[in-house]
Amino acid sequence: MGQFDFSIRTPVKGVRGLGSAKSGTGHFWQQRLTAVALVPLVLAFIAIVICASGRDYEAARALVGHPLTSIILLLFVVTGAIHGRLGLQVVIEDYVHHEGCKVAAVIANTLFTAAVAIAAIFAVLKISFGV
């Protein structure tokens, strides 16, 4: 029968009843929250880098090791790492369509940003504590 050769079913039947992905607007909200925090942090970071440029080793250590500078740098690195992780995750989800590759890339994204943040935190604390 000709009239049964097509279907008006849509892919929505495949997800109906399965519920949401259980994260809601969490990703969006964290992205914007870190973005708001990064506005003053980026400006402070640029000021620190300009102050540090041209300084010798001891003077650069004194600047980075100052409590105020250290705290600003730590806030910038941690907030930036979270913001970058969220941002790159969206890029991965947009362009990597193979499910296995996508999961691997999202995991690698988290591990990479965590490693970058920990290395920077370690360095700043080491300088600041004078070890």
The residues, ordered by sequence, that sit 6+ positions from 117 with a Cβ below 8 Å of its Cβ are 77, 78, 81
Quick check: 114 binds other proteins (CB under 8 A)? no
CB distance 8 to 60 below 8 Å: no
- Span 82-111, contacts to other proteins by CB under 8 A: 84, 87-88, 91
Among the listed ranges 16-24, 75-83, 96-104, the one in contact with other proteins (CB under 8 A) is 75-83
Residue where the block lists tokens 């992905």:
21
Quick check: 123 binds other proteins (CB under 8 A)? yes
Q: Which is nearer to other proteins, 14 or 19 (CB)?
A: 14
The residues, ordered by sequence, that sit 6+ positions from 69 with a Cβ below 8 Å of its Cβ are 48, 63
- Residues 11-50 as x/- pattern, contact with other proteins by CB under 8 A: x-xx-----------------x--xx-xx--x---x--xx
